[in-house]
Amino acid sequence: MFLAVLVGATTVESPIRGYSEVSWQYLKRFHQPMAGFVGGQWAEDGSLLELGMWEKEERQHSPALAKIYKELTGESLTAKPTRVKPYQPSECPYQDMYRHGLHRFVTEYGATCLYLWLVAHSTDALQQVLVEILLDEINHMTKFFGFGIWAFAESSGDRLKDSLNRILTNYGQSRSQVTQSTKQIPNPSVEIYRTFGRVMELLDWQTWHPISKLELTYTFLRVMHRLWRWRSTLTPEYLQGLLGTPPCESLNQCSL
């Protein structure tokens, strides 16, 4: 099971360049520093000048996981090709950013919980490598979480909690069940829910031992509990001191 998790995590981590570029396209209209942190700096002709810090850190994960796999099995691990959903703007950029931001946060949140579970089931040098990856994911998760609270203060409370509760309640289902269940979930949770289901499938979730499933479920709940406690300290004044004024109302021309 541990090896299956490594394979799945490597597959998810591999297409970082694609993730980075798409996030940059969504973020650049809202917050240039955050866009630069994730997607780097670009020239006017569309060429990449410098990688973003997020990408520099994330792109180290897949090779590290592949190295762990080889040391444990003696075999090389080649990540399966993963399609990155392209930038798809609509007539409502505010909603586009909300959807993408929620997707990025849920991805980082899931990675944080998974690597925390892996750290708890490893020792010595293996554990140290996983701790380094975990620290990156915690850093990225909290940045996207704080950015979302800043940018979507009026809609980031109950709506975000409802979206995550629906995902966590059903993430153990098979992919066919996920597809069927999403018909009853309001946007923007649908795509996030499906993505979460695909990730759990890559991790071979259905074959996990019940105790391991319980452990990871507990990890998801505890991390979310800590995030929500931390959220109470993220006052508008504090966030605006870090990030500036939230997106102007002219961008919010349709309901979330």
Residue 197 has pLDDT above 50, yes or no: yes
Q: Is residue 83 assigned to a domain? A: no
Which pLDDT band, with edges at 50, 70 and 90, does 248 fall under?
A: low
Higher-confidence residue of 157 and 96: namely 96
pTM: 0.85
Cβ–Cβ under 8 Å, residues 40 and 55: yes
CA distance 45 to 49: 10
Who's near 11: CB < 8 A, 6+ residues apart? 79, 80, 82, 202
Name the domain count of the chain: 1
Phi and psi based region of residue 74 (left: phi greater than 0; alpha: psi -120 to 50; beta: remaining):
left
Which residues, listed in sequence order, are joined to residue 41 by a DSSP beta bridge?
50
Say which range, 30-39, 64-73, 200-209, has the weakest mean pLDDT. Answer: 200-209
Q: Is residue 215 assigned to a domain? A: yes
How big is the CA angle at 188 (ends 51 and 222), to the nearest 5 degrees?
Answer: 75
Name the H helices within 74-209: 93-120, 124-151, 158-170, 175-181, 189-202
Q: Is residue 140 assigned to a domain? A: yes
Q: Is residue 253 assigned to a domain? A: no
Tell me what pLDDT residue 160 has. Answer: 62
Who's near 179: CB < 8 A, 6+ residues apart? 194, 197
Q: Is residue 126 assigned to a domain? A: yes
Tell me what pLDDT residue 94 has. Answer: 84
Q: Is residue 104 assigned to a domain? A: yes
Q: Is residue 85 assigned to a domain? A: no
Tell me what pLDDT residue 170 has. Answer: 57
Tell me what pLDDT residue 44 has. Answer: 87
pLDDT tens, position by position, 88-124: 888 888 888 888 888 899 889 989 999 999 999 999 9
Residue 179 has pLDDT above 70, yes or no: no
Cβ–Cβ under 8 Å, residues 14 and 82: yes
* Domain boundaries, position 165: 2-78+94-248
Q: Is residue 10 assigned to a domain? A: yes
Mean pLDDT of 184-190: 51
Q: Is 4 helix (H, G, I), strand (E, B) or coil?
A: helix
